[in-house]
Amino acid sequence: FNVAEQFTGMPGSYVPVSETVKGFKEILDGKHDHLPEDAFRNVGSIEDVVAKAAKMKY
């Protein structure tokens, strides 16, 4: 969401379609059900979600 940078102060990121599909499949398969919902907010790839969750206290 590059256009949102001016509102969020966070730079956008490009995630290729193949990575998006891979991450979406992992979410549907329940692989990341243990991660907090906030880890999925304002991130790019599923790897970004996992990294953000690792930094969170939950």
pLDDT in tens, 35-50: 999 999 989 999 999 9
Contact 23, 46 (CB under 8 A): yes
The predicted pLDDT at position 22 comes to: 98
pTM attached to this predicted model: 0.83
Whether the predicted pLDDT of 1 surpasses 80: no
pLDDT digits (tens, 9 = 90+) for 14-28: 999 999 999 999 999
The pLDDT value given to residue 12: 84
Which segments of the chain does DSSP mark as H helices, in order?
Answer: 5-8, 17-28, 46-55
**Phi, psi at residue 43, to the nearest 5°?**
-130, 170
Indicate the domain borders of the chain: 15-55
Distance CA 23, CA 6 (A): 27
Residue 5 scores a pLDDT above 90: no
